């Protein structure tokens, strides 16, 4: 090897960044491509850079800007050069647009490099993201052509040592398999390495909102019946307790006696119709409560229940309810007139006046207010959560009510999917489909989650939760355009996540909290704020992000400790960490 060639190779090796045009020139010098010899003598004359040096995933795209500056009196008038940016990853490669550079005496359709002028070149490259690209390198492949020498047609060179590929190597590349990608990668000159995929770690599912259930562990049922008295009397007729309503109440009491989940309270309330003197009616109501109590004690003596009694005087509320439920033509007028008076005496006077006009008041409304009302209040305690879980695990989820299924899905995540699928299939309830979508999204089944949301919409849901969840599922699927349709009317947090999914972290961060806020803050470079946002979050994903933050701060021991904690909680994170460029310092 002659001294000039040796010095050129040594100089190129010692430079951290050398230009691909210069590399191509060196390669052609070694292979008798004469038009590149002079260009190879000064390789550092060309400046080349890539922004960013570590690639970043944004909205399903990987983008970079490549810049180069070719000085005057550098490019050979007879030289031609093809430069292709290629993203290499495990098992594959994707090529960007090729740039053709040519000297002033080359007759092709490339970019002409004028000998006496400085040429600045800026190229934007963009690739559609694939999960295999999590570990990747952006390289430049170089092909050269010269009228004289061995490169009369565009010839791929090894941009690292200038060597032309052998026939055997060209045969490998022609197969377009993993071996071909590997060899091409060896020939390419690296300009960016690794991919920051933190955007992909935004947790959309955690923000999805369930629709509420109406479950109550203790439900109260009230059964009533009236013992009716004659006007101004507190003495019950012999058959007063032999009505259908009283018999039904007695049967309800007896039906719950053997039920350990039922707690019954029976009491008697005495009333008077509001068409007499207030003091007289108060006393009369008390007397009716006592005579009614004796009748009920006799009626239910075999139940062993304690029965309470109370007096409530004039039944003004009962009067309004009875009038409202009546067929009296001017009932609204009656109620309006009576509402104008606050004192009992004035109302009594007006009721008497109205009763003289509206006979139905005297014959239908007032008589039913002269009563002792029997009330049976039953507090029924439902199944325990453990009992519901057991039924589901036994394959008997269909025995649970809709509200029980919705409740246990929220209370016990381990059986949530089974409970909600049963609720959806058996009852066709929109809430069940919406909440099922959340469970599926947290499992990473976004297609299933989207189908569940569609079923919720078909079931008639137009809830705010459904709208928000549509936006979040589409964001998780990378379909930001569809997500935007729902995000317009979504909550501020959902809108912020939509912004973060498009790389607008400064816009998003003020309306995010916790883990998602921390990701946006890391992407902005605000590591201190990110650590604060993770306070109190002891999940595996939070520990993993702490490892990333510590690595960026240069605190390798803290990064290792956080990563170990994350992997102990979720072993799958070890595989992620092995490729994560943010943790490269730990490897």
Residue 531 has pLDDT above 50, yes or no: yes
Q: Which two tokens stand for residue 375?
A: 């009330």
Do the strands 111-112 and 99-102 form a parallel or antiparallel pair, or are they unpaired? parallel
Q: Would you say residue 13 has pLDDT above 50? A: no
Q: Which range in 37-41, 70-74, 289-293 is most confidently predicted, on average pLDDT?
A: 289-293
Co-location of 366 and 434 in the same domain = no
Specify the higher pLDDT residue, 5 or 404: 404
Q: Are residues 105 and 185 in the same domain?
A: yes
Pair (91, 105) in one structural domain: yes
Does residue 2 register a pLDDT over 50? Answer: no
| Mean pLDDT along residues 38-52 | 78
According to DSSP, the residues that pair with 196 across neighbouring strands are 56
CB 401 within 8 A of CB 219: no
- pLDDT band of residue 134 (cuts 50, 70, 90) is very high
Residues 113-131 as b/e (b if ≥16 CB within 10 A, e otherwise) read: beeeeebebeeebebebee
Number of domains in the chain: 4
Helix, strand, coil % in the chain, rounded to nearest 5? 50, 20, 30
What CATH number did the domain enclosing 432 receive? 1.25.40
Torsion sign over Cα 314, 320, 326, 330: positive
Q: For 10-24, 400-414, 490-504, which range has the lowest pLDDT when averaged over its residues?
A: 10-24
pLDDT tens profile 19-40: 444 444 444 444 456 676 677 6
Q: What is the pLDDT, as a whole number, of residue 32? A: 53
Structural domain for 124, as ranges: 3-196
Q: What is the mean pLDDT of residues 503-529?
A: 96
The alpha carbons of the chain give a radius of gyration, in whole angstroms, of: 42
Domain endpoint, select from 489, 521, 551: 489
Shared domain for 344 and 394, answered yes or no, is no
Token pair for 381: 């305690």
In a domain, 112, yes or no: yes
Q: Does a structural domain hold residue 574?
A: yes
Same domain, 373 and 410: no
Is 158's pLDDT higher than 90? no
* Top-confidence residue, 445 or 238: 445
Is-cis flag, bond preceding 324, omega within 30?
no
- Shared domain for 465 and 508, answered yes or no, is no
**By percentage, how much of the chain surpasses pLDDT 70?**
92
Alpha-carbon distance 195 to 132, whole Å?
11
In this predicted structure, what is the pLDDT of residue 26? 44
Greater model confidence, 350 or 189 = 189
Shared-domain flag, residues 357 and 437: no
Q: What is the pLDDT of residue 569?
A: 97
For residue 226, being part of any structural domain is answered with yes
202 in a structural domain: no
Are 140 and 48 in contact, with CB atoms under 8 Å apart? no
pLDDT tens per residue, range 482-512: 999 999 999 999 999 999 999 999 999 999 9
Angstrom CA distances, 382 to 125, 147, 251, 349, 535, stand at 63, 91, 21, 49, 38
What pLDDT, on the 0 to 100 scale, is given for residue 145? 87
Q: What is the mean pLDDT of the chain?
A: 89
Residue 390, CA atoms < 13 Å, CB-side half-sphere: 5
Please tell me the predicted confidence (pLDDT) of residue 178.
Answer: 86
Whether residue 495 lies inside any domain: the answer is no
69 has which bridge partners? 47, 120
Encoded tokens for 343: 């004192």
Instruction: List, for residues 196-242, the tens digit of each pLDDT value.
Output: 999 999 999 999 999 999 999 999 999 999 999 999 999 999 899 99
If you average pLDDT over residues 373-389, what whole number do you get? 96
Residue 201 falls inside a structural domain: no
Give residue 460's Cα distance to chain centre. 21
Asked if the structure places residue 203 within a domain, the reply is no
The span from the CA of 189 to the CA of 137, in Å, is 10
Query: What is the pLDDT, as a whole number, of residue 8?
Result: 34
Cα–Cα distance, 142 to 136 (Å, whole number): 19
Same-domain status, 330 and 441? no
Domain co-membership, 109 together with 222: no
Residues 519 and 574 in one domain: yes
The pLDDT of 117-136, averaged and rounded, is: 94
Which CATH number belongs to the domain containing residue 342 in this structure? 3.30.1330.60
Q: Do 258 and 370 lie in a common domain? A: yes
Does one domain contain both 165 and 296? no
Any domain includes 497? no
Residue 148: what pLDDT? 78
Among residues 348, 381, 414, which one ends one of the domains? 381
Predicted confidence at residue 331, as pLDDT, reads 84
């Amino acid at each position: 090897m002659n001294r000039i060639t040796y010095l050129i190779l040594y100089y190129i090796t010692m430079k951290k960044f050398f230009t691909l045009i210069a590399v191509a020139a060196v390669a052609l010098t070694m292979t008798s491509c004469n038009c590149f010899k002079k260009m190879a003598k000064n390789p550092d004359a060309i400046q080349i850079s890539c922004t960013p040096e570590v690639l970043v995933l944004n909205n399903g795209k990987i983008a970079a800007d490549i810049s180069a500056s070719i000085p005057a009196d550098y490019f050979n008038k007879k030289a031609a050069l093809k430069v292709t940016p290629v993203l290499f990853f495990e098992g594959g490669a994707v090529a960007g647009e090729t740039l053709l550079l040519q000297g002033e005496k080359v007759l092709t359709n490339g970019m002409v490099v004028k000998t006496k002028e400085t040429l600045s070149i800026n190229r934007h490259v963009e690739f559609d993201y694939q999960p295999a690209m999590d570990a990747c390198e952006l390289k430049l492949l170089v092909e050269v052509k010269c009228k004289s020498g061995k490169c009369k047609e565009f010839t791929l060179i090894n941009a690292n040592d200038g060597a032309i590929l052998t026939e055997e190597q060209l045969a490998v590349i022609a197969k377009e398999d993993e071996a071909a990608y590997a060899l091409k990668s060896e020939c390419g000159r690296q300009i960016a390495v690794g991919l920051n995929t933190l955007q992909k770690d935004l947790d959309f599912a955690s923000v999805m909102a369930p629709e509420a259930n109406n479950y109550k562990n203790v439900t109260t049922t009230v059964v009533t019946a009236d013992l009716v008295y004659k006007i101004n009397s507190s003495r019950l007729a012999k058959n007063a307790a032999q009505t259908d309503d009283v018999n039904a109440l007695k049967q309800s009491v007896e039906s719950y006696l053997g039920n350990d989940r039922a707690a019954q309270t029976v009491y008697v309330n005495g009333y008077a119709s509001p068409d007499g003197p207030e003091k007289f009616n108060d006393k009369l109501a008390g007397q009716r409560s006592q005579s009614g109590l004796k009748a009920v004690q006799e009626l239910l003596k075999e139940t062993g229940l304690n029965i309470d009694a109370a007096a409530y005087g004039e039944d003004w509320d009962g009067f309004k309810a009875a009038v409202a439920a009546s067929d009296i033509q001017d009932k609204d007028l009656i109620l309006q007139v009576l509402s104008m008076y606050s004192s009992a005496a004035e109302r009594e006077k007006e009721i008497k006046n109205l009763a003289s006009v509206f006979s139905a008041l005297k014959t239908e409304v007032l008589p039913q207010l002269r009563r002792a009302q029997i009330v049976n209040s039953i507090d029924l305690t439902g199944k325990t959560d453990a009992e519901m879980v057991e039924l589901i695990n036994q394959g008997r989820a269909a025995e649970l009510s809709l509200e029980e299924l919705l409740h246990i899905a929220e209370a016990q995540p381990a059986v949530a999917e089974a409970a909600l699928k049963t609720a959806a299939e058996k009852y066709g309830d929109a809430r069940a489909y919406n909440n099922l979508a959340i469970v599926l999204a947290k499992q990473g089944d976004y297609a299933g989650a989207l189908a569940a949301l569609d079923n919720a919409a078909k079931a008639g849901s137009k809830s705010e939760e459904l709208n928000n969840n549509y936006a979040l599922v589409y964001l998780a699927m990378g379909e930001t355009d569809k997500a935007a349709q729902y995000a317009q009317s979504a909550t501020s947090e959902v809108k912020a996540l939509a912004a973060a999914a498009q790389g607008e972290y400064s816009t998003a961060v003020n309306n995010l909290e916790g883990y998602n806020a921390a990701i946006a803050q890391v992407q902005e470079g605000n590591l201190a704020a990110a650590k604060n946002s993770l306070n109190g979050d002891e999940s595996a994903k939070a520990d993993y992000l702490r490892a990333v933050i510590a690595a960026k701060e240069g605190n390798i021991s803290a990064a290792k400790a956080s990563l170990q904690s994350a992997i102990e909680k979720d072993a799958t994170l070890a595989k992620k960490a092995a490729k994560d460029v943010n943790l490269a310092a730990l490897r």
